[in-house]
Amino acid sequence: MKVALLSDCYLPRLGGIEVQVHDLAGWLRRAGHEVEVFTATPGRAGERHGAVELVDGVPVHHLALRLPGDLPVNPWAPPELRRRLLAGGFDVAHVHMGVVSPFARDAVDVALAAGVPTAVTWHCVLDAMERVLAVSGRVRRWAGRGVALSAVSRMAARPLQRLAPDARVTVLPNGIDVDRWRSSTAATVLGPQGHCGTDGAGG
């Protein structure tokens, strides 16, 4: 399967969405899928204006502008994003949302217009933005057009369910690679049965 991951923010910026989307790209690639990332964030060497950078084996399309603080905003990205999605032959688009995600919001509309099956995951609790989205009706319209809605927690999913009451909002928790975070000294410290010390006596 060929997957497009779309997010306002990506490496080299550091944050929850950036790291989660990067890790997801890696896991999908290791599972045998073809993955490309589309973002409004400049690359490590300042790549912008559609330049493609290879990050850990994954092509990253930097549809970024030159803005103060490298702000990940590009209202002129949709036509080029549409062209690349159509040319790329993607099987699915997975869009990643924060509280304010102008690039990701545009990406959902672009993917739908291009006829690409689309999933959207919210990495945040909407809070005051729920009212804005309720007025716009955007989430309800997306759901009505077949977008698969998900959030990273039950708390984050609840406002989405209110915004699209006829849709199913799935909880898709952020994945944790346990082996990556396991201490190499854990077995010695905890002992074979998980007790303190190496003799199993505790204390």
Question: How do the domains of the chain map onto residue ranges?
Answer: 2-178, 179-203
Contact predicate 185/157, CB 8 Å: no
Q: Sorting pLDDT into bands at 50, 70 and 90, what band is 29?
A: very high
Query: CA-to-CA distance for 114 and 186, rounded, in angstroms?
Result: 50
Query: CA-to-CA distance for 43 and 60, rounded, in angstroms?
Result: 8
Encoded amino acid at 133, one letter: L
Q: What is the mean pLDDT of residues 157-173?
A: 95
Contact predicate 80/103, CB 8 Å: no
pTM, rounded to two decimals: 0.86
Average pLDDT, the chain: 90
Q: What is the mean pLDDT of residues 168-176?
A: 85
pLDDT for 129 equals 93
Q: What is the mean pLDDT of residues 54-64?
A: 97
Question: pLDDT for 119-142, tens place per residue?
Answer: 999 999 999 999 999 999 999 999
Map residue 38 onto helix, strand or coil. Answer: strand
pLDDT for 186 equals 53
Asked if pLDDT for residue 196 goes beyond 60, the answer is no
Q: What DSSP string describes 134-171?
A: HHHTHHHHHHHTTPEEEESSHHHHHHHHHHSTTS-EEE
Q: Sorting pLDDT into bands at 50, 70 and 90, what band is 193?
A: very low
Question: pLDDT for 97-109, tens place per residue?
Answer: 999 899 999 999 9
| CATH (residue range 2-178) | 3.40.50.2000
Asked if pLDDT for residue 112 goes beyond 50, the answer is yes
pLDDT for 199 equals 41
